[in-house]
């Protein structure tokens, strides 16, 4: 799994998807983030398998699936992740996460465990060893454009410490209000992969290329601050 930026495709212009994907590739984006919402686990519906199939036709970039769904094992079979993809399921979404994570790994994709803002790190106790990364929600999942959830930066720091204390070098992905200002602080707190949406890469105040450049600069500044601590 690489560090870097994962562009949230729910924020792209669906009428100009091919254009936006080409711009994301030009900007050097590492992953395309696929938010899968079922209207049950979160109060929204987003991208289905036909949309994902269309995205696959436009790019060879790996996909970063985020299943905000009940019964994630069902959706693994529906979306058919590939080798090189990332697939995160929520610890809160199923009592069988310890079964679902190996199912994801068997597809060749990297499995990850996601936590909502209010979910304690103890949810990782028996799931982190089965995971290739941890996804921390920094907003309550369901909609783009929300403010940063209180305590998000502390939770990133605490997750970094939690994993280090257990000898786990899992990357930390952050998702929710990843603006340039917040990304710098998130990077300093220990985040590695940044889901970029309307507050950065898809901001209406600039282009995808300029948004990606600004976000990378902010992440680099944060990482430089982390190294100097």
pLDDT class for 227, splitting at 50, 70, 90? low
Structure tokens at 69: 């769904």
**By the 8 A CB rule, do 35 and 68 touch?**
yes
Nearest to 112 by CA among 122, 52, 102, 156: 102
The catalytic site residues sit at: 35, 175
pLDDT class for 190, splitting at 50, 70, 90? very high
DSSP secondary structure letter of residue 109: S
Nearest to 180 by CA among 210, 159, 149: 210
- pLDDT value for 3: 83
* Beta-strand pair 110-115/86-90: parallel
pLDDT of residue 60 exceeding 80, the answer is: yes
Q: What are phi and psi of 175, to 5 degrees?
A: -140, 115
Buried/exposed 181-213: b ≥16 CB within 10 Å, e otherwise: ebbbbbbbbbbbbbbbbbbbbbbeeeebeebbe
pLDDT class for 194, splitting at 50, 70, 90? very high
Q: What is the mean pLDDT of residues 189-216?
A: 95
Pick the residue with more confidence: 141 or 177? 177
- pLDDT value for 228: 59
- pLDDT value for 44: 83
Structure tokens at 116: 């909502």
């Amino acid at each position: 799994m690489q560090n870097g930026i994962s562009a949230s495709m729910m924020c792209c212009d669906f009428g100009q998807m091919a254009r936006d994907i080409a711009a994301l590739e030009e900007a050097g984006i590492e992953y395309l983030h696929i938010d899968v919402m079922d209207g049950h686990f979160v109060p929204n519906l987003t991208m289905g398998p036909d949309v994902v199939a269309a995205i696959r036709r436009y790019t060879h970039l790996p996909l970063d699936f985020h299943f905000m769904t009940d019964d994630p094992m069902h959706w693994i079979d529906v979306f058919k992740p590939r080798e090189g993809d990332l697939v995160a399921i929520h610890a809160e979404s199923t009592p069988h996460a310890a079964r679902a994570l190996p199912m994801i790994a068997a597809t060749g994709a990297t499995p990850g465990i996601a936590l909502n803002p209010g979910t304690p790190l103890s949810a990782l106790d028996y799931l982190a060893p089965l995971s290739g990364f941890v996804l921390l929600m920094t907003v309550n999942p369901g909609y783009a454009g929300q403010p940063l959830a209180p305590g998000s930066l502390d939770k990133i720091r605490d997750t970094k410490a939690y994993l280090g204390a257990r000898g786990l070098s899992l990357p930390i992905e952050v998702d929710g209000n990843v603006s340039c200002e917040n990304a710098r602080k998130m990077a300093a707190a220990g985040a590695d992969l940044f889901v970029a949406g309307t507050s950065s890469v898809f901001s209406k105040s600039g282009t995808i290329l300029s948004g990606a450049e600004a976000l990378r600069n902010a992440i680099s500044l944060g990482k430089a601050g982390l190294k100097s601590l």
